[in-house]
């Protein structure tokens, strides 16, 4: 048995939350929640295309995941219902036109299918199949919905603006929770009425599934708020409002992971002057990591145990989780593992997205997950290089890369569930759409160039 530091043991006991699972597989509908759902459902269908995502974002930020309808063991969370509303809109308004398929779409689709196959084989019953299909519907349904709705720069900018507008009331609710220790969203279930305290600090979460995920949600949006500053003169004040509100939310969460996400956001823009040397920077980072791994008494991932920005961090848990995942690799590589409790105390809680991918779907979904992330970064590299002379488009591409970088750093310390999956798949869809825009403009530019050459030949100038 692995030794457990006393401080970590007390943290696990303190963080134990019976609300996490008690609302699963049962209908939970508050009259106010139902009213809001109906209004937002209708708005999703009726609003102009550039504003169609606004109701989905609003619901994600103000209605906890406990609100759901269960039909024949199928959990329809309110967020899932809103995704269905989005697809219903596409069919009703005939917006389901073909978009330009690219490698990122293929990678995410393969990852989704692999997860369904491996998880079903892992457990081998109908319930497992229903669970993973629902999980992949959220992923693929959101991703491809956003791919269709955000196919131009104006629609992407409108979505960023929507997040900025929503960030202000969200931050006010967080300040209220920080001041009163009362979470007003508890009336919907799924979040505690009395905010938990760790090491003397309130860990606010609002309507989000967990304080860490609430902070990570907004930390991943910070790069876009930076980019929005350069859109126009009028956008500068809104950009500052979004950044200020985000800082308030992250501070109220009192968690190390969102703070590190914010630091990585800043780092992503600090290396902007070195953008043409990213390959060298990656090799340098790898060499430093390998050197530290062999020079330290513990493996490189032991550094996670030492990260603690706000006190009471469970970095030791994250370190030992990676350590045990490597140790038990023969157990999960083929078909994953249904239960990791035997890995060590508290390791039923897989707080690492990369480890979770392996546990859920074996090495196959883990590889597919990493591959489509690599494709996203590669494609964004083409985009920002092409748009050097269009500052805002360039910054949109760069900020998307920074946001994905923040998510990947978050994945080392947390696995995603609840509302944060919306922003993850949204930003992947933005990455894919920016690449499609780049391909269209590149081909148009090459066509004009070739047409100009042909015209000169006909005129006898060449």
As a whole number of angstroms, the distance between CA 369 and CA 329 comes to: 17
Answer yes or no: is pLDDT of 46 > 60. yes
Contact between residue 33 and residue 63 where contact means Cβ atoms under 8 Å apart: yes
Q: What is the pTM of this model?
A: 0.93
The distance from CA 175 to its chain's CA centroid, rounded to whole angstroms, is 24
The tens digit of pLDDT for each residue in 372-397 reads: 999 999 999 999 999 999 999 999 99
> What's residue 379's pLDDT?
97
* Residue 18 predicted with pLDDT over 50: no
State yes or no: pLDDT of 4 exceeds 60: no
Strand intervals (E) in 87-215 = 197-198, 201-202
Nearest CA among 210, 211, 297 for reference residue 254: 211
pLDDT at 100: 84
Question: Phi/psi of residue 74, each to 5°?
Answer: -100, 120
Evaluate whether 132 touches 118 at the Cβ level (below 8 Å): no
Tens of pLDDT, residues 112-137 = 999 999 998 988 888 778 888 989 99
Higher-scoring residue by pLDDT: 188, 444: 188
Distance from the Cα of residue 277 to its chain's centroid: 27
Query: Average pLDDT, stretch 88-100?
Result: 88
Each residue of 247-303: pLDDT tens digit? 999 999 999 899 999 999 999 999 999 999 999 999 999 999 999 889 988 899 888
- Give mean pLDDT, residues 386-409: 96
**Residue pair 338/70 in contact by the 8 Å Cβ criterion:** no
Q: What is the DSSP letter of 76?
A: E
Nearest-angstrom CA–CA distance, 350 and 365: 16
Residues 6+ apart with CB under 8 A from 234: none
Mean pLDDT, rounded, for 3-29: 56
Residue 303 has a pLDDT of: 85
For residue 14, pLDDT over 80 is answered with no
Of 243, 248, 271, 311, the C-alpha closest to 402 is: 271
Q: Which two tokens stand for residue 370?
A: 């990493």
**Residues in the chain, how many?**
462
């Amino acid at each position: 048995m692995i030794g457990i530091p006393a401080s970590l043991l007390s943290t696990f006991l303190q963080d134990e939350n019976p609300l996490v699972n008690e609302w699963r597989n049962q209908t939970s509908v508050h009259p106010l929640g139902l009213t809001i759902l109906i209004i937002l459902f209708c708005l999703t269908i009726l609003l102009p295309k550039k504003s169609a995502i606004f109701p989905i974002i609003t619901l994600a930020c103000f209605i906890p995941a406990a609100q759901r309808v269960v039909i024949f063991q199928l959990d329809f969370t309110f967020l899932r219902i809103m995704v269905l509303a989005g697809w219903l809109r596409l069919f009703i308004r005939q917006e389901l036109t073909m978009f330009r398929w690219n490698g990122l779409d293929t990678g995410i689709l393969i990852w989704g299918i692999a997860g369904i196959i491996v998880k079903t084989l892992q457990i081998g019953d109908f319930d497992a199949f229903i669970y993973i299909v629902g999980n992949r519907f959220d992923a693929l349904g959101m991703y491809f919905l956003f791919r269709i709705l955000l196919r131009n720069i104006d629609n992407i900018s409108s979505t960023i603006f929507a997040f900025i507008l929503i960030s202000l009331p969200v931050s006010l609710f967080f300040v209220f929770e920080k001041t009163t220790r009362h979470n007003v969203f508890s009336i919907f279930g799924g979040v505690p009425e009395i905010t938990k305290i760790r090491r003397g600090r309130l860990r606010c979460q609002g309507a989000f599934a967990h304080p860490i995920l609430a902070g990570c949600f907004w930390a991943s949006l910070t790069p876009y708020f930076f980019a929005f500053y350069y859109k126009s003169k009028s956008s500068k004040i809104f950009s500052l409002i979004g950044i200020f509100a985000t800082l308030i939310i992250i501070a109220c969460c009192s968690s190390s992971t969102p703070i590190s996400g914010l630091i990585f956001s800043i780092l992503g823009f600090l290396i902007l002057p070195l953008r043409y040397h990213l390959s060298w920077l990656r090799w340098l980072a790898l060499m430093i990591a390998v050197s530290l791994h062999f020079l330290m008494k513990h493996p490189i991932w032991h550094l996670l145990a030492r990260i603690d920005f706000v006190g009471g961090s469970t970095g030791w848990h994250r370190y030992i989780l990676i350590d045990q995942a490597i140790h038990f690799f023969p157990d999960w590589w083929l078909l994953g593992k249904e239960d990791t409790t035997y890995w060590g105390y508290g390791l039923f809680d897989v707080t690492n997205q990369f480890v979770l991918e392996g546990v859920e779907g074996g090495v196959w979904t883990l590889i597919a997950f990493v591959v489509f992330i690599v494709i996203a970064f590669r494609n964004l590299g083409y985009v920002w290089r092409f748009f050097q002379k269009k500052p805002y488009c360039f910054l949109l591409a760069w900020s998307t890369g920074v946001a994905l970088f923040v998510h990947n750093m978050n994945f080392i310390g947390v696995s995603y569930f609840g509302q944060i999956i919306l922003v993850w798949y949204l930003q992947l869809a933005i990455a894919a759409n920016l690449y499609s825009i780049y391909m269209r403009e590149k081909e148009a530019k090459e066509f004009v160039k070739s047409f100009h050459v042909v015209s000169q030949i006909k005129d006898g100038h060449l």
